[in-house]
Structure 1
């Protein structure tokens, strides 16, 4: 990423951070003035994950300034605003750093678990620091503030990171039938959610029916990324979350149970949406781990002849079948990647072992670039020499994770 492109993105991140923070500060606890849900947390985590590490200092500084200005503009003193900014941005930075530090390039399920664990634990530490400061300066109930701060960061991180990373997910081929089906489901989701969550449910005898109705939008929501891809799923989830939060804040819908105090229906809505977001991430993991997405090749180093395993023909294999020689393959890689690929082959040819995962970008055509990873490379002794067997799969479809692999 060039500096000019980064600073354009930084302006966008700052504008979105301010807008989401402005909305979040209206959804606050009247006593402690702590937001019930802090949407900018998820945006900041996603921004760090999608940005190369060399740009993290200016990204942190930019978001820190926006966070401070936002707090000062809305209600807090400069001192309190600076403390809140340090705690909040430190929380988001720590989550992103842990994800990048401990992630596994070829195990999406583990990566999601790392992200969830980091979000829960780091948010608890940040909530304790924030609640301690509020108690010290304003003598507000520590336990209640701790709980609100923690849940606001966890929910905001889960919701917004799921949405933003879904938007940056590797695009799938456009198929008119899938787009029309997904668009129809999206419209149906919005209409269903708007109807279910706009009803003034206040009859305790029909609470079971109300909760059953609340499950219908979730089922539609989960079907959208399965049918039409993760990007449309992320946009649909954004619409769904907006409807649920708006109605719950106005004490409407099945999540408003008579007798709840102010803000508690919104806490229920957070749990409801967080559960839906986790289901979406589960769908992402299942789609990422669909069997048959890998492609294997056989290389004879002496002649350079290259052939591909056609027992399981995938869209990736269909592109690769046109490559019949090692030189043709190396010509599609960058000079650095081609050099590393050749070195790996030479190691195997001389009886060595290669156990690391190799991430690279292949240019199959002027319009088709695919991020791949070589997960396995072995040598098979033959009378005429060693035959190299390699296995490729598509790299993690999230661009932020892809950049991390390449930087490493």
Structure 2
């Protein structure tokens, strides 16, 4: 990525961050002045995930300036704004770092699990720090402030990251022919959501009936990515979130139950949207999870370096690897780091050590074909003329439309 392109992208991220922050600061708790939902958290996490790590300091600085200026302009002192900006953006950066550091090649379920766990845990730490600062500066309840900060950050991360990463998810080649059906479902989603959520409080049909109607937009929402792909699903989910949050803030819809305290209906709306987001993530995973797990075994003579591939159970993976005749060719297809680890594993097993744990690595067979492999077992077998090695590798066969949602550039 050249410098000019990155500067333009940075400006776009900052502009979007400002717009979402401006909206979020209007949805705040009057007592603690903490937003009930913090949409910029999800945008910042997405921005870090979609940006090269060497650009992260500049991205952090740009978002930090926007965040501080926004706080100072609308509600907080400079001191409080600086503290909030550091805590908030450090939280977003930490979530992105965990996802990028602990992700596994083509293991979407693991990446999603890391993202959810990091979001829940790191947001709790940030909420404790931010809530503690607010309590020191204002006479507010710490537990309530902690809960609002944590839920605002978690919901903002779930909603906006799902939307942004869904928009960047590469569609299948033939998905465009389904856009018309997706457009019809999108229109049906908007109409049903507006109908359900513009209803006044305590309508004649009762709360139970309105709650049942609230399930209809969710079912339509889930059908859109199935029919038309994740990009249209993400765009439709954005529309859905706007409708639900707008009418909920206007004190309309089935989530405004008589007797709830101020702010609690909006928390219900957050739970409603977060549950829908998790359902969409589950749909994303089902549509783009690995289709087939392939296993291949090999036999290596360390003295000659000759590789023999077991073709008793032929598959696509065996056919691709059978073109590698020896260790020199094999190691030349690996990165320097993977190459070193592979050599160390061979040396250890030849010396009589037991290899525990699997080893994930990449083999670049061509500029357009990179295999993501995992060595599940490596053993040494004593022969009359020396030791030979036997290894077992597992690979994944991916669908045409698959993409790694948390893969950075």
The TM tier, using the shorter chain, reads 0.7 to 0.9
Cα deviation for residue 273 of structure 1 reads 0.3
CA contact (8 A) 1:371 1:394 kept: no
Aligned to 1:23: 23
CA contact (8 A) 2:103 2:110 kept: yes
Alignment of 1:123-202 (within 5 A): 123-202=123-202
Of 206-215 and 111-120, deviating more is 111-120
CA contact (8 A) 2:35 2:148 kept: yes
TM-score, scaled to structure 1: 0.79
Distance in 1 between the 2:64 and 2:339 partners?
45
Is the partner of 1:15 in helix, strand or coil?
helix
1:94–1:290: structure 2 CA closer, same or farther, 3 Å change rule? closer
Unpaired runs of 5+ residues, structure 2, are 300-304, 326-331, 379-388
* Per-residue Cα deviation, 1:285-313 (whole angstroms, up to 9, x for no partner): 22233533x678999999999x9x997xx
Matched, 1:71 2:71: yes
Matched, 1:357 2:360: yes
Aligned to 1:331: none
CA contact (8 A) 1:376 1:392 kept: no
Distance in 2 between the 1:117 and 1:153 partners?
13
Aligned to 2:3: 3
Matched, 1:240 2:246: no
1:324–1:106: structure 2 CA closer, same or farther, 3 Å change rule? closer
1:135–1:398: structure 2 CA closer, same or farther, 3 Å change rule? same
Cα deviation for residue 279 of structure 1 reads 0.8
Alignment counterpart, residue 404 of structure 2, candidates 394, 398, 404: 398
Cα deviation for residue 10 of structure 1 reads 1.3
Aligned to 2:55: 55
TM-score, scaled to structure 2: 0.79
Cα deviation for residue 393 of structure 1 reads 3.4
Aligned to 1:374: 373
Distance in 2 between the 1:3 and 1:263 partners?
44
Cα deviation for residue 341 of structure 1 reads 11
* Per-residue Cα deviation, 1:197-219 (whole angstroms, up to 9, x for no partner): 11114148621111111011111
Aligned to 2:121: 121
CA contact (8 A) 1:17 1:44 kept: yes
CA contact (8 A) 2:99 2:406 kept: no
Cα deviation for residue 56 of structure 1 reads 1.3
Cα deviation for residue 111 of structure 1 reads 2.1
Is the partner of 1:190 in helix, strand or coil?
helix
Cα deviation for residue 248 of structure 1 reads 0.4
1:86–1:50: structure 2 CA closer, same or farther, 3 Å change rule? same
Distance in 1 between the 2:366 and 2:232 partners?
26
1:340–1:126: structure 2 CA closer, same or farther, 3 Å change rule? closer
Aligned to 1:210: 210
Cα deviation for residue 371 of structure 1 reads 6.4
CA contact (8 A) 1:360 1:373 kept: yes
Distance in 2 between the 1:142 and 1:346 partners?
54
1:295–1:341: structure 2 CA closer, same or farther, 3 Å change rule? farther
* Per-residue Cα deviation, 1:209-233 (whole angstroms, up to 9, x for no partner): 1111101111111111122211111
Cα deviation for residue 18 of structure 1 reads 0.7
Is the partner of 2:16 in helix, strand or coil?
helix
Distance in 1 between the 2:256 and 2:125 partners?
30
Distance in 2 between the 1:341 and 1:125 partners?
35
1:361–1:266: structure 2 CA closer, same or farther, 3 Å change rule? farther
Distance in 2 between the 1:80 and 1:121 partners?
23
Cα deviation for residue 6 of structure 1 reads 2.4
Cα deviation for residue 84 of structure 1 reads 0.6
CA contact (8 A) 2:198 2:253 kept: yes
Distance in 1 between the 2:324 and 2:157 partners?
45
CA contact (8 A) 2:291 2:396 kept: no
Higher radius of gyration, 1 or 2: 2
Cα deviation for residue 141 of structure 1 reads 2.1
Cα deviation for residue 255 of structure 1 reads 0.9
1:362–1:216: structure 2 CA closer, same or farther, 3 Å change rule? farther
Cα deviation for residue 259 of structure 1 reads 2.4
* Per-residue Cα deviation, 1:261-297 (whole angstroms, up to 9, x for no partner): 33222111000000011111111222233533x6789
CA contact (8 A) 2:106 2:290 kept: no
Aligned to 1:250: 250
Distance in 2 between the 1:79 and 1:339 partners?
47
CA contact (8 A) 1:159 1:277 kept: yes
Number of residue pairs aligned between Structure 1 and Structure 2:
385
